[in-house]
């Protein structure tokens, strides 16, 4: 069977002379030429020598896979001759993009002046060829308002708008006329371009000039620029000074500095659209019931709302896989290079219209398990011999059924009580654990929350300490509890600190709280046991009294230095002494520079960017944090860190304990009480109320033939199998990679069981079990057909973000593109119908993989630019490592909603549009959200009634861009917009900061970084350019 996918042809199918290279911008321009590959501005790479493979190591694997590609040419940056150099150095493909940084507005302004000329070395004939070629591209239409001229039986558009043959169903194609020749893309991927003085030309792909490609966004008239900004055209990022140009023009198809007639750009509507894929899935599967009764079925997309009925396999809310059909052999897996992984979110929130997990108790006997592999009783166990024995679905061992569990079988060999027992009929359920599963064989105590507040000078003066104390008075009434309990069993304790630690005794029998100071921070101890951790309801008056006193107690404190590691140590020792697990809530604002263990210095060195030492910026700078994290995990102490930095605080070091203990990191740059307190308080409330399992350990078991090999998440691994988490909440996901160790059986499939042993909020030890069965096939086409792009991106993001700790970022970016090309080339070679080499063929289930991979490769974590704060990159890295599939999907491809088309009479949210500037209009208002930040972008001609309705001001000019919230107004526009904001926010773990962005004003530069289908101001490729580059790579692999 052949399966077809999306097919396109590259604008860059053959090398041609005539496109000039650009110097790195650090000195005089040189005349080097770059073809085919993208070179680091500081490196010169030669052609590969025979037999020298490129770096094609897949993530999570130590073995290099794949032969060198024939015919690849790369030219030295110091030579203008064509042909291979004699050096044996391996060429680097894909010098990764400097990105759109998904971050808060904390970047320095750009003070460079624009320079209007790029070098023009391209021949007119090349330009004409490119124009003709793009003009003749015939691509499937995916954009809104376009209807495919033919729908095949599978419902996938598979037609062409020209004299093309209709390919088979799940394949999409774009073809070029035979014999087209196109100039190669300009090189120098991160290149900073020196500009000889040449006549100005039309602006194209970020080049200054009189022509603006977006008819909706006209060029700015000359106007004075704000402080630190130059005048800029409305639809592009900053234009910077000549020899120091930071606008990398030469990424795949670089600056289109073409003379002669303007080439026609490839219509973005004609290439696969993530929005269209999302909307198609919503229309076909939204609102329906999805029953998990079939092994290996592909669930609805993570963006589709549906009702999930557990009928034997775990809900996709708990487990999503990169593919729901595993290749039957390791050779097949190596050939396809599709990662075999599951993203497991064991405590995911279940909506009210779905059934919560059943709790099974077998009394003192405990859960029934296989004698050999220790898998728990589940729907994959096969009962035999009249029900007296069962065969394990994971290891095939035959076990006796305990007498109390015996039941007769019906005429099809199924137990007659099958539907009455959750562990036999459902994919997910819980067991009550026995004392054998408890520490020291003693029942655990309910967990505790310890609030640890930095009372240094700045936090007192900013009002932060008073804000925290006031909020805790009401928040402590909302501590999590079991549904059947009246009040929470969680105990609370309080510590304040600057250079020393202050513990508080809040025992219910006291009239006033008592403070005890620990000044020996080198050897921290807990000065009191009785009265430190208390039940809030019992000690309410003393605790409220303390929270009233803390801001006054330290009102005159002028201590600006702080400690950090001893604070965590103190909290952990307190939990250890109380023999309970728990969470530390630490509110901290500065680099810990006081003399104490864990002392840090400012090591933010921009000179390390794009060097082999850049990876050290993501590693902790001192050795004390890792053993501290290990001790915290061993004692069930989870660390939640709320940071309020005004400058560099070394998140790579300070956040390490949070990451390893399953905690959450929150960051509020340049915290302002009025603007930022609603967001901080919302985050604090949500975190305290979250569904959480404490002192958790997770084990993933598999059926024979494959096993779990790699784990990514907010976890600690003491050995190769046990995933330890001091706590795991509803938003944390662990991504698990699997590898073959034998051939898989197509009949029995690939079975996975995830078991999480944890302590509940009431202090009960429980086991949460999730089971899922996948298909196996010896046909690659089945594997590709069952892929899930959103889960693949989650895996690639986490594996890339883990890899940067040990590998140069350039190599990590190369591997991402290499991996993409390999997966798609394998599909083209083994699964697609025969077609011309000039066609790009994408499997239907992966047709938007390139756009997501491009977003990942140009994310701020993977691209070092001096404009992007190191802390911002370390922060994003840490957040993504523990994200679930829904969160990474939105993070890498933000949602862009046309607010001006709100239907005030219905509850519907307007359909999203693609993340590109071409979708904006001067008369529109758009809301962009990525899970961490929201922008409300307003065009200069936005209707006055919309402005009046949202802002209560008469015109565009009256809108304050400083606002971080909208007024509460009693009108349909305001109410509808607030409900949209609430809906988007309700599904995400972090409260998003709202920024108001007016067209043609300074903050628009930050907003543009999130238009991920466009070129990034930090040098990342546009989606179209990336697709063309990937196609070129695929062609090289195939030839």
Q: What is the mean pLDDT of residues 633-647?
A: 97
**Average pLDDT of the segment spanning 170-177:** 48
Look at residue 42 in the predicted model and tell me its pLDDT.
Answer: 40
Q: Span 545-567, mean pLDDT?
A: 93
Report the C-alpha gap between 827 and 401 in whole angstroms: 46
Provide the pLDDT confidence category of residue 869 given band limits of 50, 70 and 90. very high
pLDDT tens profile 727-765: 999 999 999 999 999 999 999 999 999 999 999 999 999
The pLDDT tens digits of the residues spanning 709-722 come to 999 999 999 999 99
Greater confidence (1008 vs 130) lies with 1008
C-beta neighbour count of 785 within 10 angstroms: 22
pLDDT at 23 over 60: no
Provide mean pLDDT across the span 756-777.
97
- Match 């402005």 to its residue by tokens: 947
How far, in Å, CA of 690 to CA of 481, rounded? 10
- 268 pLDDT higher than 60: yes
User: pLDDT at position 214, please?
Assistant: 43
pLDDT (0 to 100) of residue 837: 82
Residue 881 has pLDDT above 60, yes or no: yes
Tell me, what's the pLDDT at 529?
A: 83
* Residue bearing tokens 């795991």: 728
Q: For residue 170, what pLDDT is reported?
A: 56
Q: What is the pLDDT of residue 485?
A: 86
pLDDT value for 931: 96
Distance separating alpha carbons of residues 954 and 281, to the nearest angstrom:
41
Assess whether pLDDT exceeds 50 at residue 773. yes
Tally Cβ neighbours within 10 Å of residue 642. Answer: 23
Does the pLDDT of residue 97 top 80, yes or no?
no
pLDDT at 829 over 80: yes
- Detail the DSSP E strand segments found in 356-447: 359-360, 382-384, 389-391, 398-400, 428-432
pLDDT of the residue at 1020: 87
d(CA 914, CA 1024): 13
Q: What's the pLDDT tens digit per position in 594-636?
A: 999 999 999 999 999 989 999 999 999 999 999 999 999 999 9
Q: State pLDDT tens for residues 29-69.
A: 333 333 333 334 343 333 344 444 444 444 544 433 344 44
CA distance 174 to 614: 40
Q: What is the pLDDT of residues 1010-1032, one digit of tens each?
A: 999 999 888 789 999 999 999 99
Q: What is the pLDDT at residue 951? A: 94
pLDDT of residue 630: 96
Query: What percent of the chain shows pLDDT beyond 90?
Result: 68
Q: Nearest CA to 477 among 467, 485, 491, 488?
A: 488
519: left (phi over 0), alpha (psi -120 to 50) or beta: alpha
Who has greater pLDDT, 164 or 1004?
Answer: 1004
Higher pLDDT: 879 or 557? It is: 879
Q: Give residue 457's pLDDT band: very low, low, confident or very high (50, 70, 90).
A: very high
990 pLDDT higher than 80: yes
- Which H or E element spans position 172? strand 171-172
What is the pLDDT, as a whole number, of residue 59? Answer: 53
Given a cut of 70, whether residue 24 has pLDDT beyond it is: no
Q: What percent of the chain shows pLDDT beyond 70?
A: 74
120-134, 354-368, 844-858, range with the lowest pLDDT: 120-134
DSSP string, 561-607: ----HHHHHHHHHHHHHTT--EEEEEEE-S---SSSTT-------GG
Closest CA to 574 of 469, 658, 493: 493
Question: What confidence tens digit (pLDDT) does each residue in 935-955 have?
Answer: 999 999 999 999 999 999 999
Q: How confident is the model at residue 484 (pLDDT cuts 50, 70, 90)?
A: confident
The Cα angle at residue 20 between residues 858 and 137, in degrees rounded to 5: 65
pLDDT band at 264 (very low <50, low <70, confident <90, very high): low
Give the Cα-Cα-Cα angle 766, 772, 777 (nearest 5 degrees). Answer: 155
Pairwise CA distance, residues 9 & 832, whole Å: 15
| Listed range (160-174, 814-828, 963-977) with the worst mean pLDDT | 160-174
Cα 382 to Cα 396, 397, 424, 748, 780, distances in angstroms: 9, 10, 10, 12, 29
Report the largest interatomic distance among the alpha carbons of the chain, rounded to a whole angstrom: 90
172 has a pLDDT exceeding 90: no
Work out the pLDDT band at 223, boundaries 50, 70, 90. very low
- Residue 363: other Cβ atoms inside 10 A: 8
What's the token pair of residue 473?
């008075």
- pLDDT at position 27: 36
Question: What pLDDT is stored for residue 148 in this prediction?
Answer: 33
In eight-state DSSP terms, residue 151 is B
Per-residue pLDDT, averaged over 213-237, amounts to: 37
Phi, psi for residue 1006 in degrees, rounded to 5 = -65, -45
Tokens found for residue 253: 């198809």
Q: What is the residue-averaged pLDDT of the chain?
A: 80
């Amino acid at each position: 069977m052949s399966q077809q996918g999306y097919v396109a042809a590259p604008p860059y199918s053959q090398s041609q002379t005539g496109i000039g290279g650009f110097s790195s911008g650090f000195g005089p321009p040189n005349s080097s030429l770059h073809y085919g590959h993208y070179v680091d501005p500081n490196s010169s790479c030669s052609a590969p020598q025979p037999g020298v493979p490129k770096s094609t190591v897949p993530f999570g694997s130590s073995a290099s896979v794949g032969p060198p590609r024939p015919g690849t040419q790369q030219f030295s940056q110091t030579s203008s001759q064509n042909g291979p150099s004699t050096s044996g150095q391996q060429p680097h493909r894909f010098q990764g993009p400097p990105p759109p940084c998904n971050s808060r507005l904390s970047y320095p302004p750009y003070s460079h002046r624009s320079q209007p000329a790029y070098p023009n070395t391209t021949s007119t004939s090349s330009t004409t060829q490119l124009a003709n070629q793009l003009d003749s591209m015939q691509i499937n239409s995916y954009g809104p308002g376009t209807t495919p001229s033919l729908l095949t039986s599978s419902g996938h558009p598979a037609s062409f708008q020209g004299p093309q043959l209709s390919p088979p169903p799940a394949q999409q194609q774009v073809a070029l006329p035979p014999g087209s020749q196109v100039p190669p893309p300009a090189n120098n991927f991160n290149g900073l371009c020196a500009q000889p003085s040449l006549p100005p030309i039309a602006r194209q792909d970020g080049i200054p000039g009189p022509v603006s490609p977006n008819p909706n966004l006209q060029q700015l008239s000359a106007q004075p620029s704000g402080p630190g900004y130059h005048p800029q055209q409305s639809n592009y990022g900053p234009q910077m000074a000549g020899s120091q140009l930071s606008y990398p023009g030469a990424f795949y198809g670089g600056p289109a500095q073409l003379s002669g007639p303007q080439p026609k750009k490839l219509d973005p509507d004609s290439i696969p659209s993530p929005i269209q894929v999302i909307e198609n899935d919503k229309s076909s599967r939204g609102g329906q019931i999805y029953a998990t009764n079939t092994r290996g079925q592909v669930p609805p997309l993570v963006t589709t709302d549906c009702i999930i009925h557990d009928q034997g396999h775990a809900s996709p809310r708990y487990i999503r896989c990169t593919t729901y059909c595993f290749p039957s052999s390791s050779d097949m897996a190596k050939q396809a290079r599709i990662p075999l992984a599951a993203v497991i979110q064991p405590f995911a929130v279940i909506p009210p219209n779905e059934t919560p997990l059943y709790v099974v108790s077998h009394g003192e006997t405990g859960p029934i398990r296989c004698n050999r592999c220790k898998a728990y009783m589940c729907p994959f166990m096969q009962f035999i011999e009249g029900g007296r024995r069962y065969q394990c679905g994971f290891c095939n061992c035959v076990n006796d059924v305990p007498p109390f569990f015996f039941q007769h079988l019906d005429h099809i060999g199924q137990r007659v009580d099958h539907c009455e027992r959750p562990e036999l009929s459902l994919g997910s359920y819980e067991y009550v654990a026995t004392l054998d599963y408890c520490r020291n064989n003693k029942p655990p105590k309910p967990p505790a929350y310890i609030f640890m507040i930095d009372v240094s000078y700045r936090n007192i003066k900013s009002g932060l300490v008073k804000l925290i104390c006031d909020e805790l008075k009401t928040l402590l009434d909302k501590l999590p509890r079991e549904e059947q309990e009246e009040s929470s069993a969680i105990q609370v304790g309080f510590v304040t600190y600057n250079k020393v630690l202050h513990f508080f005794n809040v025992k219910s029998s006291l009239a006033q709280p008592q403070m005890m100071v620990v000044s020996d921070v080198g050897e921290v101890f807990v000065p009191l046991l009785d009265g430190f951790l208390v039940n809030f309801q019992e000690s309410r008056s003393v605790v409220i009294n303390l929270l009233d006193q803390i801001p006054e107690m330290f009102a005159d404190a002028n201590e600006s230095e702080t400690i950090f590691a001893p604070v965590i140590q103190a909290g952990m020792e307190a939990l250890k002494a109380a023999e309970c697990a728990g969470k530390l809530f630490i509110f901290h604002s500065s680099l810990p520079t006081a003399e104490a263990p864990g002392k840090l210095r400012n090591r933010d060195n921009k000179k390390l960017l794009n060097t082999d030492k850049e990876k050290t910026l993501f590693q902790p700078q001192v050795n004390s944090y890792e053993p501290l994290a290990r001790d915290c995990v061993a004692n069930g102490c989870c660390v939640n860190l709320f940071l309020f930095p005004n400058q560099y605080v070394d998140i790579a070091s300070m956040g390490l304990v949070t990451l390893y203990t399953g905690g959450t990191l929150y960051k509020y740059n340049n915290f302002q009480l009025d603007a930022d307190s609603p967001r901080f308080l919302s985050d604090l409330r949500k975190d305290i109320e979250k569904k959480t399992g404490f002192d958790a350990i997770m084990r993933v078991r598999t059926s024979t033939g494959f096993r779990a090999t790699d784990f990514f998440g907010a976890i600690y691994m003491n050995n190769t199998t046990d995933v330890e988490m001091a706590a795991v909440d509803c938003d944390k996901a662990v991504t698990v990679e699997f590898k073959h160790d034998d051939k898989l059986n197509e009949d029995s499939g690939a079975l996975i069981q995830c078991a999480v042993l944890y302590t509940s909020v009431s202090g009960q030890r429980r086991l949460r079990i999730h089971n899922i069965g996948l298909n196996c096939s010896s046909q690659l086409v089945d594997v590709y057909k069952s892929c899930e792009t959103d889960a693949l991106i989650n895996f690639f993001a986490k594996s890339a973000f883990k890899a940067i700790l040990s590998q140069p970022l350039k190599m990590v970016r190369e591997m991402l593109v290499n991996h993409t090309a390999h997966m798609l080339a394998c599909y083209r070679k083994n699964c697609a119908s025969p077609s011309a080499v000039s066609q790009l063929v994408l499997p239907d289930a992966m047709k938007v993989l390139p756009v997501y991979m491009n977003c990942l490769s140009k994310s701020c974590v993977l691209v070092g630019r001096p404009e992007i704060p190191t802390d911002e990159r370390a922060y994003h890295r840490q957040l993504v490592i523990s994200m679930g599939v829904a969160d990474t999907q939105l993070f890498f491809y933000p949602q862009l909603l046309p607010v001006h088309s709100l239907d005030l009479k219905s509850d519907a949210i307007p359909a999203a549009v693609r993340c590109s500037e071409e979708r904006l209009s001067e008369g529109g208002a758009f809301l962009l959200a990525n899970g961490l930040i929201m922008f409300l972008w307003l065009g200069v001609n936005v209707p006055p009634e919309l402005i009046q309705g949202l802002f209560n001001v008469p015109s565009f000019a009256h809108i304050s861009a400083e606002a971080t919230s909208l007024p509460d107004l009693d009108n349909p526009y305001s109410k509808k917009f607030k409900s949209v904001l609430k809906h988007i926010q309700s599904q995400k773990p972090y409260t998003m900061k709202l920024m108001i962005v007016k067209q043609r004003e300074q903050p628009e530069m930050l907003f543009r970084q999130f238009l991920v289908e466009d070129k990034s101001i930090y040098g990342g490729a546009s989606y179209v350019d990336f697709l063309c580059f990937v196609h070129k790579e695929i062609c090289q692999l195939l030839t």
